[in-house]
């Protein structure tokens, strides 16, 4: 009888604790205690997609350089610049653990922007080589690069939106309460910013240089 009474008492005690804990858990969930880690995870996932698209572009660059080299060896300096920019872009990396470091993020963005610039220069130069422009491999690579640049733009946009939501969580109610208590180690994440050259369409001229006149 005593054992049965103890078991009944223990069961009642557990039920009472559950009755107290369940509403508390619901109340915490309703107050957004899980919002910060949830949105942080979404931002980190969006960042992984950004990196994947940049890596896809980097993987295409060696094939593009080799193809152009076969038709325009005289553009060696530009090809070297592309190769060097690609090496720098793949060398600078930012993972989830360092994503909140503005200096590392800026270095990553600068390296990718440098590669974008020299790639654009290389593709503009190829306009001067009709045989290259009609090469099937070059056309396929150019199409893949254009598609990748579009994916990069979309992934950067999605990342910025995910980071905007996460950063807002850290500075607005009720997230600011949790950021100051449970999630003190969580820091804002930086956003991608448009480069100065991205504010206006580039001007490219393919006109031949003027013919010198005899003095």
Q: Quote the pLDDT of residue 194.
A: 78
- Give the span between the Cα atoms of 165 and 41, in whole angstroms: 11
191 contacts 160 by C-beta, under 8 angstroms: yes
In a domain, 3, yes or no: no
- Identify whether 174 is preceded by a cis peptide bond (ω within 30 of 0): yes
Angle at 173 between CA 168 and CA 175, to 5 degrees: 65
In a domain, 100, yes or no: yes
Q: Which domain holds residue 60?
A: 39-177
- Give the span between the Cα atoms of 68 and 85, in whole angstroms: 16
Does residue 76 register a pLDDT over 50? yes
Q: What H or E segment, with its residue span, contains residue 1?
A: none
14 contacts 160 by C-beta, under 8 angstroms: no
Residues 17-65: pLDDT tens digits?
A: 544 443 444 444 456 899 999 999 999 999 999 999 999 999 999 999 9
In a domain, 157, yes or no: yes
Average pLDDT, the chain: 83
In a domain, 19, yes or no: no
| pLDDT bucket at 202, cuts 50 / 70 / 90 | very low
- Give the span between the Cα atoms of 173 and 188, in whole angstroms: 16
The CATH number linked to 164 is 1.20.1440.20
Does residue 70 register a pLDDT over 90? yes
Q: H helices of the chain, where?
A: 2-30, 35-71, 76-91, 102-125, 130-133, 136-171, 175-179
Q: Quote the pLDDT of residue 34.
A: 94
The number of distinct structural domains making up the chain is 1
In a domain, 205, yes or no: no
Q: Quote the pLDDT of residue 10.
A: 56
Q: Quote the pLDDT of residue 97.
A: 84
202 contacts 176 by C-beta, under 8 angstroms: no
- Which phi and psi (to 5°) does residue 7 adopt? -65, -40
In a domain, 13, yes or no: no
> Which whole number is the average pLDDT over 127-137?
94
What's the start-to-end Cα distance of the chain, in Å? 123
Q: Quote the pLDDT of residue 13.
A: 54
In a domain, 198, yes or no: no
In a domain, 21, yes or no: no
Q: Quote the pLDDT of residue 151.
A: 97
């Amino acid at each position: 009888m005593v054992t049965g009474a103890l078991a009944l008492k223990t069961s009642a005690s557990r039920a009472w604790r559950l009755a107290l804990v369940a509403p508390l858990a619901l109340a915490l969930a309703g107050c957004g205690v899980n919002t910060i880690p949830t949105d942080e995870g979404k931002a980190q996932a969006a960042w992984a997609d950004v990196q994947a698209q940049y890596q896809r572009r980097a993987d295409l660059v060696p094939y593009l350089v080799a193809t152009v080299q076969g038709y325009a060896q005289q553009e060696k300096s530009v090809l070297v610049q592309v190769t060097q920019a690609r090496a720098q872009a793949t060398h600078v990396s930012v993972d989830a653990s360092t994503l909140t470091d503005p200096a590392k993020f800026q270095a990553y963005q600068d390296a990718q922007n440098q590669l974008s610039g020299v790639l654009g220069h290389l593709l503009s130069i190829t306009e001067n080589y009709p045989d290259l422009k009609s090469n099937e491999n070059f056309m396929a690579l150019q199409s893949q690069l254009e598609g990748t640049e579009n994916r990069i733009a979309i992934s950067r946009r999605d990342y910025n939106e995910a980071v905007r939501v996460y950063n807002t969580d850290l500075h607005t109610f009720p997230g600011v309460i949790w950021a100051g208590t449970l999630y003190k180690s969580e820091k804002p994440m930086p956003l991608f910013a448009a480069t100065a050259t991205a504010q206006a369409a580039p001007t490219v001229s393919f006109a031949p240089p003027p013919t010198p006149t005899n003095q």
